[in-house]
Structure 1
Amino acid sequence: MDWHHQLLDSVIWLCKAFAISMVAIACITALLGKFTYWGQQFLRVTWVWFSPVRNWRPLGILSLLILMTLFAVRMDILFTFWSNGMYTSLQNFNAAAFWSLMAVFGILASVHVVRGLVNFYISQAFQIHWRVWLTENLMARWLDQQAYYRSQHLPGRTDNPDQRIQQDISGFVSSSLTLFLGLISSAVSLFSFTLILWSLSGTLTLFGAEIPRAMIFLVYAYVLVATVFAVKLGRPLIKLNFLSEKLNADFRYALIRLREYGENIAFFRGEAVEHRTLLKRFSHVIENTWAIVFRSLKFQGFNLGINQLAVVFPVVVQAPRFFSKQITLGDLMQASQAFGQVQDALSFFRTSYDEFASYRAIVNRLTGFLDTVDAADQLTMPQIAHQGQNFAVEALTVKSPGGAILTANLNLALAPGAALLVRGPSGVGKTTLLRAIAGLWPYADGKIVYPAGQQCLFLPQKPYLPLGTLRSALYYPSAEPAQPDDSAVRAILEQIQLGHLTVQLDTESEWSNILSLGEQQRLALGRVLLHRPQLVFLDEASSAMDEGLEHAMYSLLRKQLPDVILISVGHRSSLAAFHSSELILQHGGKWILSNLP
């Protein structure tokens, strides 16, 4: 064999195969994106990443990976020709040809190893960059327009969105590239090795009939029948893999809640109930896992049997031609290898069906996540404007998710320095009104006018303390400045009677588990003093303090921020001394607005 010609043929083959592959991929992508639901799902999740308008590099690197895949197929072809020559030299006892072919093998093997390492690095780098972009993109969608919160109000909302961002994206990126390149490799291998098998195939007499080029027809019929049975056996894996992701996420979420509410559970001695809940969710995981195991036994057992039979099938078919000396030992071995390559290429979908099933479940979960984000963006909200210095509510009507009116046609206006106390019986909708005024409640209509260009802070009954240092918790929702004013921060901690914490300002810890609820509420008031907003909502933000401490904190707010607009929800009558007006909510949507002495 002239290996110089083989090298030239390989270069020409790679160029032709690459050009044909790129044209075919472009056409298939366009057709899949337009006419198939899967294609539309894929493009919806990640097309922007590949768009050359955004950046040409992803498509460029993907083209390089396709070229490396084609190179691997060509190497397999060269190895079959090498195998033919090597076995023929053994059959002919040609030592010179044998050792010459060993030298050729050393070159081919070295090139193959280098290609594998380069391909591994490029594919891993590509996946990392793709995953980073997709994660950042979906996180931005999740946080934009407060979809993470508004989605709670959707019927049948997405389960475990955190898992879809963290785990499903990783699986999507990895499986997309693996299946895509595997499909290209199989298609090119099928065409290339079919030509080799065609040249090595002979006539087979079967039941008195002669079948020309029998190996070609037999391998296609063999794999087609096997694929039909494999698809039938593997179809239930799609649903089972989807359930596996969901049930595992539900179990993990229950474990996270156990840690988050550990103190409450410990006080109630609720370990037995929590144990039963965890065992129940875990049992669902195990039941589904056993279902996957039994289904996979059938599927993989069938595939293993088919693959083992394929090892001897081509040798049995070609053996009569070998013993009649129509072909050499090298031809027999090359035909066997070509048969295996064609069989593997045709069997790609069959052997990868379980991975396709998992991939489909992942794509469904990611598109379901995007459906939730889009639906959250479509939820109606009150009209919000930022103008002037006053805060105003115009014709605001707040409803429950079931349609019951909680507050009807509310109108009020608050000037700088004004303070409104919202009161009413439990369950009347006081907190819901604050959510609607803050633009968080979708079952409301009307107009809300905020002071122009001013920051608003919302202080709930249980404050949110982010992970990190005590300083970062105090600065939240703003980032820590590069050069913080320690004297100002320490002064604020002294004013809110948390001066003993000044030495721990830069200590990282889970402060929500260290500070009492009363201390957390005072820290939230410290945020108000630090940020000096124009408008503050306090939803029972001092309920964990005694009346004396509450009086001191409200006095501090009124003294340090005389122009701030306060809107407080509270039950204690002592709060009236710090507010200029009172809004009493009543059942049926009624309300009474009056001035306080």
Structure 2
Amino acid sequence: MAEAPQVSRRSRMRQFFRVALRYWCGRTRWRAWALTITVLVFIAAQTAAAVGINRWNRWFFDALEKRYVAAVWATTGWLPFLLGAAALSMCGLVISRMLLQVRWRENLTRRLSGWWIADQRYYRLGFLAKNMTAPEYRIAEDVRLAIEPLVELAIGLITAFVTAATFAAILWQVAGSAEFALGASTIVIPSYMAIAAVVYAAIASLGAYLAGRPLVARVAHKNEMEAQFRAEMTRLRENAESIALIKGDADERSSASESYAKVVAAWLQIVRQQGMIALVLNTNSALFPIVPLLLIAPKFLTGTITMGAVVQVVAAFSAVQAALIWFVDNFVRLAEWFASVTRVDELMEELEALDIGTIMEKEERIALGESDDGAVHLDNLSIAHSNGRVVVADATVTIPQGAKVLIAGESGSGKSTLIRALAGIWPWGSGSIRVPAGQSIAFVPQKPYLPKGNLRTILLYPDSDRDIPDDAITAALQRCGLGYLAKKLDLEEEDWDRVLSGGERQRVAFTRLLLQKPDIIVMDEATSALDEENQASLLRLFDEELNAATLISVGHRPGLEDYHDQKITLERRPAGAHLTSRRLRKSLWRVFRNRSAANEDEGSEADRGR
């Protein structure tokens, strides 16, 4: 697949918000707007409380300057009410902000995880987007890092705007104008404190931007390296037994060290950039309290304003300046937030690519349909790997209802790929697959999946809510050689994936078939972990309890032919056969049919041995 073009930051933001802002539409809109309005109300209340405290400072210090004891005590009496209002507004803002974060994240996580899981996108994504590392981490963690800081940053930005406007008006009113004599002329600068706050904030913001601009890309790279390291550790845990058996500890330790070295290198780049930003921020912190005092001092020394006015102006200047340098204070968080937005948007982009078919031309997809005669039809079916290499081409086969078909062939000939195409999770190719309408289909892989839960949940999966009597479940367990597990049917949850051996897992899969009674059964090496005796016992199910089902199975072990009526042998295609833009090149497809008729033919044994 060709490398995707670089997407601009503006495009990333637009694509992310196109999906994320759907929280304010549809069924969730009433809750979303209610939370949003509540947050805005508490922002207004918090600003009002801050203005009240600012004015209290002027009244209090004016009373101190004039030594009015009664005024001092009267002013002090208002302080508990102002502090209480500030505390309540802050508490309400925190609660409403966290509720908005939780609900918005819930909405986006449900939407994105549902999108990823539906229609086997989680499976196909691994083939189409090999560079898409850890999609589950992007959903679980990057969505959180994209939503939670976004709410806080949005609240901070709104608060900064409201604060800057409110306290700039106070500066305009209280500080007044500045007059400077230049020769015989007098220069008047109206509202010079407000102008000074804006200029100072602009200079500080520009310095932070220049120092921190490279941080976005470096944070994104760090997150990618962290995700790769987690994926490496997960792979080690999931394959722990195989690695331990072949004593691959040294190699895995070396691989883990190399992977973590990339994490360290990425972090060191961030540390260097953070040092540059810290230099700007610490310089600003040192100047922050000094600048307004130096600017207002001349007016106080000339007696133009009172001490209370000085305190009020300094506090208002600090509030305006703090609001206007919001970007400076939050640049690092903005960089980290945008890095998470980028990772979430990349996942959305790949999921959209699956839906709109940008990876593969429409005519090169395998069409899935329904048949009305009870048979499974493969019509001009051609199957290719995701890299374009053809493994099966131009196959036309009809599998009648109730038939038992064995698919054989050497490794790499496309047996398992054909099973995936029948399951509808492998779209690469052309032609069509039609299965009987209204019939249930069960797929049995080589390594059956065992979800979390008790044994009953495991056996009834994926329809764990079915009401099946205990004696029926016990009988199915006994028939499949698992009768000793019947006493654990409703015990506490266990990690069955580790408790059961490979052979036991495969017998669980056959127990599910007995309980489900599907019309069509598709198996892929479903008896590979069983000895010949247990394999024969379970395969007899298709001549007895499951004799009415259509069976399509992949296998190469001896003796499988005895339990099938037909045999399809796939021959491996030579290297170099790939998809073309309009057609698929032909491969060999040989069908050996009708076991009973073949048994009467003198050459049947030779055919069967192939």
TM-score computed with the length of structure 1 as normaliser: 0.91
Determine whether 1:203 maps to 2:188. no
Determine whether 1:321 maps to 2:305. no
Question: Per-residue CA shift, 1:355-412, capped at 9, x if unaligned?
Answer: 1111111111111111111112234542112343221111111112332321111111
Query: Aligned match of 2:554 in 563, 569, 572?
Result: 569
Alignment correspondent of 2:265? 287
Alignment correspondent of 1:264? 242
Alignment correspondent of 1:591? 589
Alignment correspondent of 1:385? 369
AA of the residue aligned to 2:240: G
SS at match of 2:288: helix
Question: Per-residue CA shift, 1:293-343, capped at 9, x if unaligned?
Answer: 221122123112112201011111111211211110111111101110111
SS at match of 1:587: coil
Contact 1:87 1:330 in 2 (8 A): yes
Q: CA deviation at 1:43?
A: 2.5
Q: CA deviation at 1:60?
A: 2.4
Question: Per-residue CA shift, 1:419-460, capped at 9, x if unaligned?
Answer: 111111111111111111221112111111112222211111
AA of the residue aligned to 1:37: S
SS at match of 1:420: strand
Determine whether 1:449 maps to 2:424. no
Alignment correspondent of 1:81? 55
Query: Aligned match of 2:477 in 484, 493, 497?
Result: 493
Instruction: Provide the C-alpha distance between the structure 2 equivalents of 1:384 and 1:366, rounded to a whole number of angstroms.
Output: 31
Contact 1:386 1:452 in 2 (8 A): yes
Alignment correspondent of 2:136? 162
Alignment correspondent of 2:150? 176
Alignment correspondent of 2:338? 360
AA of the residue aligned to 2:545: Q
Coordinate RMSD, CA, aligned: 1.8
Determine whether 1:340 maps to 2:318. yes
Contact 1:529 1:557 in 2 (8 A): no
AA of the residue aligned to 1:178: E
SS at match of 1:468: coil
Query: Aligned match of 1:49 in 23, 27, 30?
Result: 23
AA of the residue aligned to 2:377: A
Q: CA deviation at 1:53?
A: 6.7
Pairing 1:165-564 to 2, within 5 Å after superposition: 165-199=139-173, 200-203=175-178, 205=180, 210=187, 212=189, 213-379=191-357, 381-388=365-372, 389-481=374-466, 483-506=467-490, 507-564=492-549
Query: Aligned match of 1:122 in 93, 96, 102?
Result: 96
Instruction: Provide the C-alpha distance between the structure 1 equivalents of 2:435 and 2:163, rounded to a whole number of angstroms.
Output: 66
Contact 2:197 2:320 in 1 (8 A): yes
Q: CA deviation at 1:584?
A: 0.8
Contact 2:212 2:331 in 1 (8 A): yes
Contact 2:16 2:344 in 1 (8 A): no
Q: Which of 199-208 and 455-464 deviates more?
A: 199-208
Instruction: Provide the C-alpha distance between the structure 2 equivalents of 1:127 and 1:53, rounded to a whole number of angstroms.
Output: 17
SS at match of 2:430: strand
Question: Per-residue CA shift, 1:470-500, capped at 9, x if unaligned?
Answer: 221111121233x541111111110010111
Q: CA deviation at 1:266?
A: 0.6
Q: CA deviation at 1:121?
A: 1.8
Alignment correspondent of 1:142? 116
Q: Which of 53-62 and 413-422 deviates more?
A: 53-62
Instruction: Provide the C-alpha distance between the structure 1 equivalents of 2:561 and 2:160, rounded to a whole number of angstroms.
Output: 77
Alignment correspondent of 2:599? none
SS at match of 2:450: coil
Contact 1:157 1:372 in 2 (8 A): no
TM-score computed with the length of structure 2 as normaliser: 0.89
AA of the residue aligned to 2:61: Y
Question: Between Structure 1 and Structure 2, which shows a larger proportion of helix residues?
Answer: 1
Instruction: Provide the C-alpha distance between the structure 1 equivalents of 2:91 and 2:447, rounded to a whole number of angstroms.
Output: 53
SS at match of 1:500: helix
AA of the residue aligned to 1:503: K
SS at match of 1:508: coil
AA of the residue aligned to 1:359: W
* 408 and 38 in structure 1: CA distance in 2 versus 1, 3 angstrom threshold: closer
* 313 and 236 in structure 1: CA distance in 2 versus 1, 3 angstrom threshold: same
Q: CA deviation at 1:267?
A: 0.1
Instruction: Provide the C-alpha distance between the structure 2 equivalents of 1:133 and 1:340, rounded to a whole number of angstroms.
Output: 38
Q: Which of 326-335 and 67-76 deviates more?
A: 67-76
SS at match of 2:559: helix
Runs (4+) of structure 1 moved beyond 6 Å? 206-209
Q: CA deviation at 1:207?
A: 8.4
Instruction: Provide the C-alpha distance between the structure 1 equivalents of 2:435 and 2:321, rounded to a whole number of angstroms.
Output: 69
Instruction: Provide the C-alpha distance between the structure 2 equivalents of 1:203 and 1:333, rounded to a whole number of angstroms.
Output: 18
Q: CA deviation at 1:65?
A: 0.6
SS at match of 1:56: helix
Instruction: Provide the C-alpha distance between the structure 2 equivalents of 1:66 and 1:346, rounded to a whole number of angstroms.
Output: 19
AA of the residue aligned to 2:217: K
AA of the residue aligned to 1:488: A
Instruction: Provide the C-alpha distance between the structure 1 equivalents of 2:387 and 2:109, rounded to a whole number of angstroms.
Output: 35
AA of the residue aligned to 1:515: L
SS at match of 1:566: strand
Q: Which of 461-470 and 46-55 deviates more?
A: 46-55
Query: Aligned match of 1:113 in 87, 90, 105?
Result: 87
Instruction: Provide the C-alpha distance between the structure 2 equivalents of 1:205 and 1:442, rounded to a whole number of angstroms.
Output: 79
SS at match of 2:219: helix
Contact 2:143 2:341 in 1 (8 A): no
SS at match of 1:448: strand
AA of the residue aligned to 1:243: H
Number of equivalenced pairs: 562
Q: CA deviation at 1:572?
A: 2.1
Alignment correspondent of 1:8? none
Unaligned runs of 5+ in 1: 1-34
AA of the residue aligned to 1:498: L
AA of the residue aligned to 1:347: I
Contact 2:391 2:572 in 1 (8 A): yes
SS at match of 2:29: coil
Contact 1:387 1:451 in 2 (8 A): yes
Contact 2:568 2:590 in 1 (8 A): yes
Contact 1:496 1:525 in 2 (8 A): yes
